[in-house]
Chains A and B, each alone.
Chain A
Amino acid sequence: MSAEKVTQLSQTKRMFGELSFGPQDVKLYGQYTYGIAGERFFREIKDNGRIMGTRCQKCQLVYLPPRIYCERCFAELKEWVEVEGKGRVHSYTAVHVDLDGNRLNEPILMAIVEFPGIYGGFVHKLGEIEPRDVRIGLKVEVVLKREEEREGSILDIEYFKPGMFD
């Protein structure tokens, strides 16, 4: 079995397509509800500037983001608790390329933020800090958009910034 080696794709016959486009340029789109837990979680951020989780009594876990059932024991989770927006950096990276592999002018700082006693946390941006100053364990606090700018999205959280707290 042999195949001629092609080094230039332009030498080949190709079909072009775009994800989420069908024939006749029909754009495929969707709507997807946040669900019961997501609805309340994002409304609390948007309307009250609060981050809420749900507690599983049996497994002694507070889920963040919240869920209406426990993934470990399948209990229904009805108890909502506020999670103070003060956490720590679990891990982080400085992103230098975009999804297409192009260089970014400035690196973007991304982190996983964890909260004491909470099962979960957020993947989110870090702000008001230089890459060289980021470290694991750094205390960070949530920065929300102004209330009138919030839309009920994870991007209502602008970023996490270094925090001063015990």
Chain B
Amino acid sequence: MALDSCGMTLDGIDCVVMGTAPDAFDMIHMKGENLIDGAGAWRKPYMRGFVGGGTGVFVVDQGWYHVASGLFDTCLVVAEEKMSSCLPHPQGAFITIWDQFTESPLGPSLLWMFAMEMTRYMHVHGITEREIAMVSVKNKKNAMDHPAAQLPAEITVEDVLNSEVMAWPVKRLDVSPSSDGAVALVLAAEPAAKRITDKPVWIEGVGWCLDTFYIGHRDLYYPRYVEYAARQAYEMAGINEPSKEIDIAEPYDPFDYKELHNAEGLLLCGKGEAPKLLADGVTQRTGRQPWCPSGGALGVGNAIAATGTMKVAELFWQLRGEAGKRQVPGKPRRGVAQAWGDELQVGTVIVVGI
């Protein structure tokens, strides 16, 4: 679809960057190699990028430097995840990601590790489960207009609050689903881009940053590494006030609190202020700065490595005015997308504009 949309074939692609997350989902080690044919990388320069849930934006950043370095004119970025093959539940694939001596023996799941981050975030700022639940309501509703959405729904805050507790304060409707999905983007150097399209969307800034591996080594109330990644991207893009200069944001939302947490790391508001923007309607699709107009991971689905790339694709459509029913009004000109993951330690950021 990506190639078709710009009238290209694989002949015009100089290199391929592939994003796919834990090997354990597919029970194939080195699955980057296994996926090479579907990625269109046969006999081409190819690399796989992998920073857990942060992969989806990371691979676009990687694709950017393949082209920006001058080494290649075009790069096909492909990201995929297939979680349905991992039984009885893909959560089990994450048992081996923790420190094997100090964490794994306790049988950690991502669910309860994230729950502790949510607890900390709520505690430090005095934020309630009710305030956070509105993210899930907003994003699942936004997803009603996304043709590839897995869990679009019109739900209420009460539905979220009354859903099954999985690891307090996380309830079932606070969490994105397990998903299968794939996304592809074509990146091109300026002269090539101008040949391919008269409506290019430019990558204006990229950034990524990893914090320490150990959960206990940082205060979980704030993702400082997301801030560092964002500052790198904003500096490149010449952005001084992201709260004003960004028209649309797609922060990573595998859990509802994560949209708020990550938006704060992206400096879209002050620490602890994201729930107020949400409550005031600022982040609705028709608000001053929509967050996750795509429907996000909560609504479209969370095919881990592909989710961040889905967010970049959303910005592409929005900035070209091609988002259909999801179109944000007011001719948006600049957006930021972000993904997050690994051991709650990586932020990956991209700024795009027209």
Do A and B form a real pair?
Answer: yes
Determine whether A26 belongs to the interface, using a CB cutoff of 8 Å to chain B: no
Of the listed residues A91, A92, A107, A155, the one surrounded by the most CB atoms of chain B closer than 10 A to its CB is A91
Interface pair A91/B106, CB less than 8 Å apart: no
Interface pair A91/B117, CB less than 8 Å apart: yes
Interface pair A123/B170, CB less than 8 Å apart: no
User: Which of A32, A90, A96, A131 touches B216 (beta carbons < 8 Å)?
Assistant: A90
Q: Interface segment, B10-18, B87-95, B256-264, B275-283?
A: B87-95
Determine whether B322 belongs to the interface, using a CB cutoff of 8 Å to chain A: no
Chain B residues within an 8 Å CB radius of A9: 84
Docked Cα-Cα span, A92 to B114, in Å, equals 10
User: Which of B27, B100, B107 touches A19 (beta carbons < 8 Å)?
Assistant: B27
- Decide: A90 near B120, CB < 8 A? Known: A71-B212, A155-B105: yes
Docked Cα-Cα span, A152 to B215, in Å, equals 22
Interface pair B27/A38, CB less than 8 Å apart: no
User: Which of A17, A100, A110, A111 touches B88 (beta carbons < 8 Å)?
Assistant: A100
User: B125 to chain A: closest CB distance in Å?
Assistant: 12
Chain A residues within an 8 Å CB radius of B217: 119-121
User: Which of A18, A34, A71, A112 touches B215 (beta carbons < 8 Å)?
Assistant: A112
Interface pair B167/A111, CB less than 8 Å apart: no
Chain B residues within an 8 Å CB radius of A71: 212
Chain B residues within an 8 Å CB radius of A155: 105-106
Report B92-134 CB contacts with A as 1/0, cut-off 8 Å: 1101000111110111110111011101100100000000000
User: Which of B105, B108, B116 touches A153 (beta carbons < 8 Å)?
Assistant: B105
Interface pair B91/A114, CB less than 8 Å apart: no
User: Which of B116, B169, B170 touches A110 (beta carbons < 8 Å)?
Assistant: B116
- Decide: A99 near B216, CB < 8 A? Known: A19-B24, A38-B101, A111-B116: no
Of the listed residues A1, A90, A100, A124, the one surrounded by the most CB atoms of chain B closer than 10 A to its CB is A90
- Decide: A96 near B105, CB < 8 A? Known: A17-B27, A136-B119: no
Residue of A nearest to B27 (CB): A17
Interface size on B, residues (CB 8 A): 43
Chain A residues within an 8 Å CB radius of B100: 32
Of the listed residues B27, B108, B112, B212, the one surrounded by the most CB atoms of chain A closer than 10 A to its CB is B112
Interface pair A93/B91, CB less than 8 Å apart: no
Determine whether A75 belongs to the interface, using a CB cutoff of 8 Å to chain B: no
Chain A residues within an 8 Å CB radius of B93: 19
Residue of B nearest to A135 (CB): B123
Interface pair A96/B215, CB less than 8 Å apart: no
Interface pair A101/B91, CB less than 8 Å apart: yes
User: B78 to chain A: closest CB distance in Å?
Assistant: 15
Determine whether B220 belongs to the interface, using a CB cutoff of 8 Å to chain A: yes
Chain A residues within an 8 Å CB radius of B88: 100-101
- Decide: A93 near B215, CB < 8 A? Known: A101-B89, A101-B91: no
Docked Cα-Cα span, A95 to B212, in Å, equals 25
Interface pair A136/B120, CB less than 8 Å apart: yes
Docked Cα-Cα span, A155 to B107, in Å, equals 11
- Decide: A100 near B167, CB < 8 A? Known: A120-B217, A123-B108, A136-B119: no
User: Which of A17, A91, A97 touches B123 (beta carbons < 8 Å)?
Assistant: A91
Residue of B nearest to A111 (CB): B116
Kindly identify, within residues 6 to 32 of chain A, every residue whose CB is under 8 Å from any CB belonging to chain B: 9, 17-19, 32
Interface pair B27/A123, CB less than 8 Å apart: no
Chain A residues within an 8 Å CB radius of B212: 71
Docked Cα-Cα span, A27 to B89, in Å, equals 21
Chain B residues within an 8 Å CB radius of A18: 27
Determine whether B42 belongs to the interface, using a CB cutoff of 8 Å to chain A: no
User: Which of B103, B119, B216, B219 touches A93 (beta carbons < 8 Å)?
Assistant: B119
Of the listed residues A18, A93, A110, A120, the one surrounded by the most CB atoms of chain B closer than 10 A to its CB is A93
Determine whether A94 belongs to the interface, using a CB cutoff of 8 Å to chain B: yes
Chain B residues within an 8 Å CB radius of A125: 106
Docked Cα-Cα span, A38 to B215, in Å, equals 17
User: Which of A99, A110, A122 touches B89 (beta carbons < 8 Å)?
Assistant: A99
Docked Cα-Cα span, A130 to B108, in Å, equals 20
Interface pair A34/B101, CB less than 8 Å apart: yes
Sampled A-B contacts (5; CB under 8 Å): A65-B99, A97-B166, A123-B106, A154-B102, A154-B103
Please name the 10 residue pairs, one residue from A and one from B, whose CB atoms are nearest each other, closest first.
A93-B115, A121-B216, A91-B120, A91-B116, A94-B168, A100-B88, A136-B123, A17-B27, A91-B119, A93-B167
> Which residues does A use to contact B, with CB under 8 Å?
1, 9, 17-19, 32, 34, 38, 42, 64-65, 71, 90-97, 99-101, 107, 110-114, 119-125, 131, 136, 153-155
